[in-house]
Amino acid sequence: MQRFASKFMNTRFMVCLTLALLGMPLLAEAADLANIDIIPEAPVGLSNKEWMHLCIGMFGGLAFMLYGIEKMGTALKVVAGDKMKQVMWRLTSNRFTGLLTGIFVTAVVQSSTVTTVLLVGFISTRLMSLAQSIGVILGADIGTTITAQILAFKVSEFALVPVCVGFLMMFLSKKDKFTQVGHAVMGIGLIFFGISLMSQSMYPLRTYDPFINVMADLSNPLYGIIAGAVFTALTNSSAAALAVVIALASQGLLTLDVGIGLTLGANLGTCLTAGIVAIGKNREAVRAAAAHVLFKLLGVILIFPFIGYFAELVTQWSPKAPTDLQGVEALAYTVPRQVANAHTFFNVGIAMLFLPFTTQFARFLTWAIPDKPLDDEEIQPLFLDEFLISTPVLALQATRSELARMGNEVIDMYDSLIPALFHGSRADLKAISKLDEDVDSLYAHIVTYLGKVSGQSLTEKQTNELLGLTYASHHMESIGDVIEINFVNIGLNRLDHAVVISDETEKVLMSLTEVCRRAIKDSIRSITELDRDAAERVIGMKRDFKSVANKASKHLTERLTASEKNRLNTFSVEMDVIDKLQRIYFHAARLSKCTISILDSEAPKEAALKAY
């Protein structure tokens, strides 16, 4: 399915599809005149020409619609990613604001999948609890109904207007933001245009008895639910499934009972897709998907025995057909709006039913889906979930969380180094080397992850942040290497030459190691929290650090004249300590400059590269 979707993203494929849509009717006309069969035999009751137009309209319209959904969703994720993240972060303090936030965010980006990805990112990075996310999930389900409500209005005749507007924005705009908005507007137009093609192509089915009989069979709600779920799972989009249902309804080919069954099936199908996507992902993603599945499944089970009463409620709250319309014409007038209303009522009902119990659901899901034990000896990343890569703003945030974890490993190495450097045994020094394996492992995972994120559609700001995080991880790993390789060798050299560092010299060197520790800690904080003050403290520490280092060097030089055994070997070890501490400070300062570059991300990419 992903390979199929990727073809829609290929411009050449869309050009070929457009030419096919324009050329096939002419080909069919020519074949009809020449009495040549170029397609399988048409069903009884439909001519070859009608059958050709029906196939082209259905599959071509579906292709345009799916491509429009993909194009719009991708563009809106780029445009609204950071703002949507801020909205969700600030407005999910309780279940009711979480519900409203879910409605708003999903209505803007028109994709409950995007909202779910945002949620998983927040849960993974501990910015949101599972209980908070459940309210947003319920709101996202309501937000998706807005698409169906829009489709139920007869807006397809204006479909080419947003296509033209979007193209002009893409063609004329020099700013990436407006170009992406143009992609989104054009995507909306393609959705409506695809639905228009499907609806028009279905007109011959009004008098095609086999199809009418199939629709009659679907009046059994169970069959309708199964058909809707399967189609939604195949197209990977509940919006696409509902668009087809509304297109059928707009030609009078569906009754409300059939429409409700297909709508409930579409709701089940979309959560099935979410469940499949979450397979193999981290526990937070699985729990979020499980919450989605649980709500939809329970909702369908609860409403299934009362579908007749539900249909009556929808009919009462939907517009009636004018008295001069009868039969198929009346169905074509009323059922599209009724289907859209049924979709809305169902999801609003689920939200009202389950919203008071979000905390209990969160506890149940945490109990039912416990965290996995780590079986591998090698340290594994906690936050670098593949699920987030398609939403770069969250993937970059997850990377910062993993960098914080890597930074804690570096600080633990440094804290273990100092006592081992001056007084530790060979075993103590070897243990520090072992700690660096975790740092190297996390570094490899982070760089690989950022490489995958770089393949997404990134804004200038996100590109600069990705560069900054990549170089920051390099400098952090370099600090670990200095500790593991250089300092451990210094410690081993101390033992090999029986060097004993005096209390006075150790006190001088310890003052320098403390300054260096502050630089490491502040630089890590600066990049993981994007803290400008911490970054500037590290960069501004250069003069003080150099002053302390010079004082320590002067002290060691003066002690060269001391009448102590092994004086030259001792001096060499002590000077190496100062030199390598300066090296660590260099990497901490460079890491902090990465932070400054990210925060000043409006600068051109070339300027950002110079900062590293």
| pLDDT at position 32 over 70 | no
Contact 366, 286 (CB under 8 A): no
Domain ranges across the chain = 2-36+45-368, 386-611
The residue whose two tokens read 């990705």 is 466
Q: Give the range among 258-267, 296-305, 377-386 with minimum mean pLDDT.
A: 377-386
Count how many residues are written for the chain: 612
| pLDDT at position 596 over 90 | yes
Structure tokens at 17: 């599809």
pLDDT of residue 563: 59
Q: Give the range among 70-79, 191-200, 470-479, 484-493 with minimum mean pLDDT.
A: 70-79
Residues 6 or more apart in contact with residue 148 via CB below 8 angstroms: 239, 242, 246, 339, 340, 343, 344
Q: Give the range among 63-72, 282-291, 469-478, 587-596 with minimum mean pLDDT.
A: 282-291
| pLDDT at position 474 over 90 | yes
Alpha carbons 446 and 454: distance in angstroms, whole number: 12
| pLDDT at position 594 over 90 | yes
- Give the residue, 171 or 276, on which the prediction is more confident: 171
Mean pLDDT value of segment 108-131:
65
| pLDDT at position 6 over 70 | no
Q: Give the range among 55-64, 132-141, 195-204, 346-355 with minimum mean pLDDT.
A: 195-204
| pLDDT at position 363 over 80 | yes
Residues 6 or more apart in contact with residue 107 via CB below 8 angstroms: 143, 146
* Radius of gyration over every alpha carbon of the chain, rounded to an integer in angstroms: 32
- Give the residue, 65 or 25, on which the prediction is more confident: 65
Tell me if residue 531 falls in helix, strand or coil.
coil
| SS3 assignment for 34-60 | HCCCCCCCCCCCCCHHHHHHHHHHHHH
Winning range, highest mean pLDDT, from 284-288, 360-364, 594-598 = 594-598
Q: Which amino acid is at 166?
A: G
Residues 571-607 as b/e (b if ≥16 CB within 10 A, e otherwise) read bbbbebbbebbebbbbbbbbbbbbbbbbbebeeeeee
Tell me if residue 543 falls in helix, strand or coil.
helix
Tell me if residue 527 falls in helix, strand or coil.
helix
| Residue 177 banded pLDDT, cuts 50, 70, 90 | confident
Alpha carbons 124 and 435: distance in angstroms, whole number: 25
Q: Which amino acid is at 513?
A: T
Contact 380, 427 (CB under 8 A): no
How open is the CA angle 583-587-590, to the nearest 5 degrees? 135
Contact 523, 588 (CB under 8 A): yes
| pLDDT at position 605 over 50 | no
How open is the CA angle 264-265-269, to the nearest 5 degrees? 120
Alpha carbons 109 and 77: distance in angstroms, whole number: 7
pLDDT of residue 120: 63
pLDDT of residue 18: 46
| pLDDT at position 23 over 50 | no
Structure tokens at 378: 């090698």
pLDDT of residue 88: 61
Instruction: Report residue 449 CA to chain centroid gap.
Output: 13
Alpha carbons 134 and 143: distance in angstroms, whole number: 14
Q: Encode pLDDT of 192-240 as tens digits.
A: 888 788 877 877 776 677 777 777 777 788 888 998 888 887 777 777 7
Alpha carbons 259 and 331: distance in angstroms, whole number: 11
The residue whose two tokens read 């139920």 is 152
| Residue 508 banded pLDDT, cuts 50, 70, 90 | confident
Q: Give the range among 298-302, 303-307, 311-315, 435-439 with minimum mean pLDDT.
A: 435-439
Contact 302, 295 (CB under 8 A): no
pLDDT of residue 269: 85
Alpha carbons 281 and 611: distance in angstroms, whole number: 36
Contact 537, 524 (CB under 8 A): no
Q: Does domain 386-611 have CATH number 1.20.58.220?
A: yes
pLDDT of residue 274: 64
Q: Which amino acid is at 125?
A: T
| pLDDT at position 438 over 80 | yes
| SS3 assignment for 107-135 | HHHCCHHHHHHHHHHHHHCCCCCHHHHHH
pLDDT of residue 352: 92
Whole-structure pTM value: 0.61
Alpha carbons 525 and 14: distance in angstroms, whole number: 47
How open is the CA angle 67-197-21, to the nearest 5 degrees? 75
Mean pLDDT, the chain, as a whole number?
Answer: 79
Mean pLDDT value of segment 581-598:
92
Mean pLDDT value of segment 314-340:
87
Contact 16, 7 (CB under 8 A): no
pLDDT of residue 33: 44
Mean pLDDT value of segment 70-76:
74
- In terms of Cβ atoms closer than 10 Å to its own Cβ (0-12, 13-18, 19+), residue 489 is middle
End-to-end CA distance of the chain: 40
Q: Give the range among 32-36, 393-397, 418-422 with minimum mean pLDDT.
A: 32-36
Output the CA–CA distances (angstroms, integers) from residue 186 to 157, 169, 365, 433, 565, in the order listed.
15, 9, 40, 56, 81
